[in-house]
Amino acid sequence: MCFAPALAASRRPAMACFSCLFPYLGICPFKLPKTRYQLYYAADPAEFSMPDRKTPSTPTRLDKPLLRLETSGRASKPQPSDNSENRASKVPPSRQPASKNDANRPRRNTADAAGKGKAKSFDKSSGKAGQEPSRKPAAKKPDAAAKKPTPPSLASRRIVYDLLVAVDEGVQLDKALSSNPDLPKLEDRDRRFVRLLATTSLRHRGQLEKVLAPLVSRKPFGAQANANFVLLMGAAQILLLKTGAHAAVDSTVELMRQTGFDRLCGLANAVMRRLTREGEALFDATSHMDNLPGWLQQSWRHYWGVEKATAIAGLAMLPPPLDISVKADAEGWAAKLEARVIDHHTLRREFDGDPSLLAGFEDGAWWVQDAAAALPARLLGEITDKDVIDLCAAPGGKTAQLIAAGAKVTAIDNSRKRLDRLRRNLKRLKLPATLVLADGAAYTPEIPVDAVLVDAPCSATGTVRRRPDILNQREAEDIVALQQIQWNLATTALGWLRAGGRMVYATCSLQPEEGEDIIDAVMDAAEGRFAIDPVTPEEAGIFARSITDQGYVRILPSDYEDIGGVDGFFIARLISLG
């Protein structure tokens, strides 16, 4: 028999279905046609038609047999499905462009690309246009950028250029920053400028590209496509960072030359000079919503309304404050760090430098964690001396909270690199935990546990102000793949609980498909063995305004403009009934 599981019939038609949780049940995986999903995120806004969540056109529900929750005392260990290797990772791999041969897509200016031109053009760039063309193989020709040393004044901008290219190729910004070999060589002031220019260019990329469009008659493409990042950086400096016109023009033209695009220096000069004259008027005609991909604009407007969607987009364009969680004595550390206390737990201060330079960091007194991200762990309640599993634990902010609250924590992650990072963080904080390298959907604890925290991998659309690279690395189709991971982790983790045990499920996503719909589907299939444990206003504290009628917590950044915004989150708490 073949089942077609779907999400939350009471909310809207299914956008995706899940393959079988346990292959040995004999349930056939079933996938809905891709066209069903395109109804939600159409490429052309004119084609967009979002059905009402409350009146689904096709009432379906998740088939009961799909949920077979087990513990070591009930049944044998479940087998992972084919894609289980990605389930417990914190953030799924970034999607690649639909066509890697798209001429308008920026690509790294490699030596091979530079060497594919005609020999005549190569000789011209070196001042030897009249000589016999070189007969050396193209692969041995040096890259134009490698021939010329980068002047110290351009070192920081060249690093920003490299970061933007890496992000466009799918690398996370934080990873690109930490792996760049030249960044540590800069002074602290220059390192801060690198981060500021990179994040500003990424946050406002949509607006800046809209401003540049009428000023560039022929957009660089193919092997020269990455030159667009040089223009993007120049526009960001003039229109957003308010860099002096002379410095912005000169540095952009020289960077164009240093990155190997000598022939486009004239274009860069002309565009930048026009920006100094016309840029402000063109930028005023744009909006923050221009920085969101089309599918995300449509989604937020439908679910949260135009006003809130616009406010969320506006907050996402602002540099985030530094939020800190402490092991103890929040008020005392607030005084030492010149911070204010939010909700009796989180410290918040403005800081654009390296947090590790602040007092208490090296001593392990605190760690960086957004105020909203600190709520899920607290909702497990009193956990002193209780057995708690933190699933998808790295980098360890929530793990540290659980340990500091007195729990005996087992932290699980399926990435060795991420688990090593977690180990280093806990060592600095002097907090003990049992670390397990495992696929969360295939793991089974030796005995049932008191509590589980599932910080599920998600699209992270609630964190775009801290991770602006997400704006150009997520696609609508990612949601479908992530739902499968979230379903498997949530249903597997429920099977680890002893009677009366609690599970908190959380995602830093603003997409209901990854939050409310997952939990609604789980409850439809639970057959009374589990129940929603509603979050109370006393437990939620400052986030009480975000409690829904079902007892979930749906945090929208726009609801917290009064404190400078927070990351977007969805949180639900479930309890095992035996």
d(CA 14, CA 31): 11
Strand 434-437, strand 408-413: pairing: parallel
Q: Retrieve residue 62's tokens.
A: 């998740």
Angstrom distances, CA of residue 165 to CA of 172, 188, 213, 227, 257 = 11, 23, 20, 10, 16
**Exposure b/e, 153-191, CB count within 10 A at least 16 = b:** ebbbbbbbbbbbbbbbbebbbeebbeebeebeebeeeeb
Q: How many CA atoms lie within 13 A of 398 on its CB side?
A: 30
d(CA 506, CA 525): 19
Q: Which residue has the tokens 């654009």?
A: 352
Is the four-CA dihedral 274, 280, 285, 286 of positive or negative sign?
positive
Long-range contact pairs involving 169-173 (C-beta distance under 8 Å, separation at least 24): 169/107, 169/108, 170/93, 170/94, 170/95, 170/96, 170/473, 171/94, 172/91, 172/94, 172/467, 172/469, 172/473, 173/198, 173/199, 173/202, 173/467, 173/468, 173/469
If we measure between CA atoms, which residue out of 267, 262, 263, 234 comes closest to residue 249?
234
Q: What share of the chain is helix, strand, coil (3-state, %, to 5)?
A: 45, 10, 45
For residues 434 and 486, the answer to whether their CB atoms sit within 8 Å is no
The catalytic position among 17, 392, 458, 508 is 508
Alpha helices in 1-95 (DSSP H): 34-38
Q: Which residue has the tokens 């806004």?
A: 45
d(CA 396, CA 231): 38
508 belongs to the catalytic site: yes
Question: How many helices and strands (H and E) does the chain possess?
Answer: 19, 12
Q: Strand 322-326's sheet: what is its strand order? A: 340-342, 346-349, 322-326, 366-368
Give every CB contact of residue 99 below 8 A, 6+ residues apart in sequence. 105
Q: Retrieve residue 74's tokens.
A: 């009930």
Strand 322-326, strand 346-349: pairing: antiparallel
Alpha helices in 240-264 (DSSP H): 245-258
d(CA 290, CA 571): 29
- 32: exposed, middle or buried (Cβ count in 10 Å: 0-12, 13-18, 19+): middle
Catalytic residues: 508
